[in-house]
Chains A and B, each alone.
Chain A
Amino acid sequence: MSPKDLSRRNFFVGMIKATFASTLAPLFALVPEAKAVLANGGPIGRVPKDTRIDRLTRAATEDAVAVALSATISKQLFAKLIANYAVDTSNSIAFNATWVDKLRGPTVVPVAVLPFKDGQGGEAYLFYSPMDGGTQSVLVELKANRKSLTEAEVYQISNGTIAINRVALTRHGNPETMTHLCNQDCMIQCLQLYGCSGLGLTLCIVAILACPFSIISCLGAWACTLYCGGAFSICWTNFCCAEH
């Protein structure tokens, strides 16, 4: 390679081009927040803010729970994914969610929520919603360190296939515990959601090491700094050390 091919000008132009390439809009669809919305995009997730929630009576709740437990799609989720969990029927709830749909008018969606426990502090919740032509069964398994960040795995079943989505469901919202939450564990957990840990981080380090030998690696290392730095910024300001 001649010195002309690797001029400083070419290098800077490449860097500027890479900046635009790394911030292309479609990539936003892949970040955890967007995935969280997509993962909860069923009838339950699309419920408008002005929805009215009417808890069902004890007898009606028991019926709804029995229907949810006996549904084929729910059984498929239990059998494959949470064999160690036991359902806690005494704390199950059922409600009717009512809202006015612009196209369909008043809409009522019955929802049964069943908590599961595994005896080791593990928690999971099944949301079952029998709707006309679109019965939904969504299982949300809360992961470790849920006090500092609500990390969860959402299991959705469609045509017999189970899709797993790793999501950050909510921000923690207790200002009194903010100092406690703004710690290393929370940041590590949050960065994991963006893929900036383990193998991802090793990839970045190797890219830096390979940089003297290849300009492609240099671009990769810099893009990695931008992406994981952005993830760090989001984790710090929006999740772990956010004021609410």
Chain B
Amino acid sequence: MAQKTWPERFGWILYTILWLLLFANILYDWLNYNWFSPLSIIFLVILGLGTLLSYLQGKPIISTERMKERFLVTLVFILATIAGIFGYVVFATLN
């Protein structure tokens, strides 16, 4: 197995924290409210299926190739979504 670079190690740490947080969120909602947050379910489906598909296709889950492009495209999507929702809220409030 090739030696992991420090960005890859950092990526794995973040990915592990993401999973831990997801389970903590599910447990917290269930123990306190007897309820599963839809956000947790969405994350569980995306992370679970994504990880499984990557594993089955033999693709790396954590990759440091084209990090910048990946992040920027996601940022554009997120900002576009926020702009759309904000536009809708303003439109709904004014009407």
Interface residues of A (CB under 8 A from B): 1, 3, 5-6, 8, 11, 15, 18, 21-22, 27, 30-31, 35, 153, 163-166, 194-196, 198-200, 202-204, 206-230, 232-233, 236-237, 241
Contacts and interface: CB of A to CB of B under 8 A. Distances in A.
16 contacts: A6-B63, A165-B33, A165-B34, A195-B38, A203-B43, A207-B18, A214-B62, A215-B50, A216-B51, A217-B18, A218-B70, A218-B71, A225-B77, A226-B81, A227-B38, A237-B89
A207 B40 CA distance: 12
A3 B66 CA distance: 8
A1 B43 CA distance: 24
Contacts of A227: 38-39, 42
Interface in B15-42: 15, 17-18, 21-22, 24-25, 28-29, 33-42
A164 B92 CA distance: 34
Contact residues of A: prevailing secondary structure: helix
B15 A210 contact: yes
B94 to A, nearest CB: 11
Contact of B78 (A200, A202, A225): A225
B61 A6 contact: no
